[in-house]
Amino acid sequence: MSEPVHHTILLFDIERFGGRDDVEQAFLRRTLYDIVEDTLIGAGVEQTQQYREDRGDGVIVLISSELPKTALLRTLLTTTPGLLHNYNRLAANSTQMRLRIVLASGEVARDPRAGVSGGIVGVDLNEACRLLDAEVLRQALRARPGENSVLCVSDPVYRGVVQHSHLGVRRDDFRRVRVPIKEGTMTAWLHGPLPEEGQSGSAHAAEDASGNDGAGTATASVPGPDGSRQAAAGSTGPDHGVVFHFAGASPTIGGSLVAGDQHGVSGGQVTGDVHLGGREQR
């Protein structure tokens, strides 16, 4: 294994790649490489300043730390979305492409083996790959139906470059996110609004006809003295509703498990009529 060397780490991943057939996947891969190539050229990255490794539905690019990250960020924020737009406006529905993109940095070593392609290792690279696969990036892309890509940068890139608001890079356009990983959590910075700040399409925004949201919860209410529906007592949500979680055979109310026979109410007060399981309780 070689000595680790500091690199800029640039990752791309195609959304919904696994749902395409073989012909579509091959076409998308070729298009991705064209977009990556044009992105690197636009940022001024020479062939001798980069190393690429194929990941099937994505690409890992290691870039020499000599190249300014500001140039890469400006290109990722302007050129890359333009390339995707020009491609998608002419592409068939089955080959539309949307990308998750991560820009990070850190120490990476090479550990090649005879007869096997690739071979790069490093904790910083591992964390960048976990960030690329983070649910917050997936949700952000789903919440932006009018955009073709989402960009997230690691905390070192934010602190070293983004927070200084260099030309073409506005720190106010980035939002801090906490990404769960095996070892705990990792701080990163998402460009654009957080998923819950987005419009329709966000996993947090949609509710089905039954009143359940995307997480499988429902808001309950009870009839008030005048017959109108009111929020149940003791509620904490923004609409003052009690949240019932139904998982398996036993429901939970407000985070507490409800199981077995329930007799009466302890430690609180219930007013008005409460209907449970079709029987009226007074």
The predicted pLDDT at position 134 comes to: 95
Q: Residue type for 23, please?
A: V
Structural domain count, the chain: 2
DSSP label at residue 32: H
The predicted pLDDT at position 228 comes to: 45
Residues linked to residue 253 through DSSP beta bridges, in sequence order = 244, 256
What DSSP letter does each residue of 58-105 carry, written as one string? EEEEEEETTS-HHHHHHHHHHHHHHHHHHHHTTS-GGG---EEEEEEE
pLDDT one-digit tens code per residue, 154-197: 999 999 999 999 999 999 999 999 999 888 899 999 999 998 76
209 occurs within a structural domain: no
Q: How far, in Å, CA of 15 to CA of 100, rounded? A: 7
Residues of the chain with pLDDT under 70: 197-282
72 occurs within a structural domain: yes
97 occurs within a structural domain: yes
Which are the contacts of 4, defined by CB distance < 8 A and separation ≥ 6?
A: 107, 108, 109, 122
**Domain of 65?**
5-197
The predicted pLDDT at position 242 comes to: 46
Q: How far, in Å, CA of 167 to CA of 153, rounded? A: 17
Both 71 and 174 in one domain: the answer is: yes
Q: 126 and 120 in contact (C-beta within 8 Å)?
A: no
pTM for the complete prediction?
A: 0.69
Both 13 and 116 in one domain: the answer is: yes
Q: How far, in Å, CA of 40 to CA of 194, rounded? A: 27
208 occurs within a structural domain: no
